[in-house]
């Protein structure tokens, strides 16, 4: 177990769960000669844990801040962690090294946009890029203008915003990766305590880059009914709401591909007690493991409110949908949300507990 002294560097205990997930993932994937770049090291806690618990022996840690660099260096020595520790920015390092890394961790203050282009320069085919964003107010639509400016995407600011926020973040990485001829696959995507964390696998090749771009697109959302539709593609087409017929506003671009690789989730779940995760965090991993991996979900309280009916628990709705042969699961993005392949009529029927109806009058005048 790493023993870290904070000194004057930044160390957030709340981020332990996200560090645990990352360490568990590296432990599952790293080979002895795998190279790891902890590009925003702070105290060095991540890099040191990748070495001690993840088994990654070829470790480089960067921090542009002098105090943080000194802290990472001190902590590496006191934890018998062999690492190259540099007082350099990602940008300076990426432009002066020939090294290419198997794992790259970027955990800055705020958003990821200033780092991605340079980080891609030290990536290679198969690199796992592990990104944290704490600019959730931007990605989740509280500061829509900033999201458009920084991520080139119009964000949602409603019950879907944490999922769409992480999809906007991934879309940004996909766009920059494509410029450098990398395709992107999302391996792990986590929303936890106002953090958005994604582990992405890069694959070299222009066809792979184009294929990743084809997994991006738009979300149409009806503010009156809460119905939405996801549409992959470069140009969005206006859509009418299935509930009220109104033209739905369009949001995006964002990643509309898968958020998880099942094997990675199973690997993390298998190591959760070794990582000392709490019960809440273990449940979070379990929810991700069981989550239907499709864009977006329905918040049941939002739906019942809009339908002017008494609230119902998501478990009952899930059971009723499954009984009718649909896929339906909980989601990490909303405790009261469900992901399903059911259509609007089947969803309404499952919420009201009645048989499937073809019209949705309760929503039409909502
Ligand atoms: C949120 S802290 C890192 C926390 C650490 N990863 C952990 O898990 O505790 C962000 C660190 O990134 C460093 N940083 C910010 N911009 C940087 C850049 N361009 N290059 C390298 N380090 C940078 C900051 O000095 C700070 O120490
Ligand atoms: Zn509508």
| CATH class entry, domain 298-364 | alpha beta
Q: Which residues line ligand 1 (CB under 6 A)?
A: 9-12, 15, 19, 39-40, 42-43, 45-46, 62-65, 68, 89-91, 107-109
Quick one: tokens of 147?
């999201």
Compute the distance from residue 344 Cα to the ligand 1 centre, in Å. Answer: 45
- List per-residue pLDDT tens for the chain, 366 residues long: 788 887 777 788 888 999 999 999 999 999 989 999 999 999 999 999 999 999 999 999 999 999 999 999 999 999 999 999 999 999 999 999 999 999 999 999 999 999 999 999 999 999 999 999 999 999 999 999 999 999 999 999 999 999 999 999 999 999 999 999 999 999 999 999 999 999 999 999 999 999 999 999 999 999 988 899 999 999 999 999 988 999 999 999 999 999 999 999 999 999 999 999 999 999 999 999 999 999 999 999 999 998 899 999 999 999 999 999 999 999 999 999 999 999 988 999 999 986 544 444 344 332
Quick one: tokens of 183?
């395709």
pLDDT, one tens digit per residue, over 193-228 is: 999 999 999 999 999 999 999 999 999 999 988 899
pLDDT, one tens digit per residue, over 121-140 is: 999 999 999 999 999 999 99
Compute the distance from residue 109 Cα to the ligand 1 centre, in Å. Answer: 7
Compute the distance from residue 35 Cα to the ligand 1 centre, in Å. Answer: 19
Domain ranges of the chain: 13-290, 298-364
Mutation to probe ligand 1, out of 38, 40, 95, 117 (largest number of atoms < 8 A from CB): 40
Q: Which ligand is nearest to the CA of 135?
A: 1
The CA–CA distances, whole Å, from 213 to 161, 172, 282 equal: 21, 10, 33
Query: Which residue's structure tokens are 């792990």?
Result: 188
13-290 and 298-364, same CATH topology: no
DSSP-H helix ranges across 83-229: 90-94, 116-121, 136-139, 144-151, 161-179, 206-213
Compute the distance from residue 250 Cα to the ligand 2 centre, in Å. Answer: 13
- Distance separating alpha carbons of residues 43 and 4, to the nearest angstrom: 7
* Multiple choice CATH, 13-290, 3.40.50.2300, 3.40.50.150, 3.10.150.10, 3.40.50.720: 3.40.50.150
């Amino acid at each position: 177990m790493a023993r870290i002294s904070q000194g004057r560097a930044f160390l957030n205990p709340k981020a332990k769960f996200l560090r645990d997930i990352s360490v568990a993932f590296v432990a599952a994937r790293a080979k002895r000669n795998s190279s790891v770049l902890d590009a925003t090291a702070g105290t060095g806690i991540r890099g040191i844990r990748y070495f001690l618990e993840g088994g990654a022996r070829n470790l480089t840690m960067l921090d542009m801040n002098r105090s943080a660099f000194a802290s990472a260096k001190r902590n590496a020595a006191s934890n018998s962690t062999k690492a190259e520790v540099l007082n350099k920015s990602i940008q300076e390092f990426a432009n002066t090294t020939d090294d290419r890394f198997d794992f790259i961790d970027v955990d800055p203050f705020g958003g990821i946009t200033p780092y991605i282009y340079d980080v891609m320069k030290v990536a290679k085919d198969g690199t796992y890029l592990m990104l944290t964003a704490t600019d959730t107010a931007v990605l989740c639509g509280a500061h829509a203008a900033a999201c458009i400016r920084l991520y080139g995407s119009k964000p949602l600011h409603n019950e879907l915003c944490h999922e769409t926020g992480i999809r906007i973040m991934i879309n940004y990485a996909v766009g920059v990766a494509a410029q450098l001829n990398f395709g992107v696959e999302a391996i792990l995507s986590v929303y936890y305590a106002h953090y958005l964390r994604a582990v992405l696998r890069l694959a070299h090749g222009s066809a792979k880059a184009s294929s990743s771009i084809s997994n991006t697109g738009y979300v149409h959302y009806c503010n009156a009914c809460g119905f939405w539709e996801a549409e992959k593609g470069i140009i969005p087409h206006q859509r009418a709401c299935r509930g009220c017929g109104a033209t739905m506003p369009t949001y995006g671009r964002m990643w509309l591909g898968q958020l998880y690789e099942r094997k990675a989730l199973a690997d993390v779940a298998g190591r959760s007690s070794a990582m000392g995760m709490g019960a809440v965090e273990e449940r979070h991993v379990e929810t991700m493991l069981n989550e239907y991996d499709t864009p977006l979900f329905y918040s049941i309280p939002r739906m019942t409110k809009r339908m002017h009916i008494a609230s119902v628990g998501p478990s009952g709705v899930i059971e009723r949908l499954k009984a009718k042969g649909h896929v339906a699961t909980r989601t990490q993005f909303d405790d009261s949300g469900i992901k399903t392949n059911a259509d609007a009529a089947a969803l309404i029927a499952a919420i009201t507990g009645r048989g499937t109806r073809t019209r949705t009058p309760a929503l039409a005048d909502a």
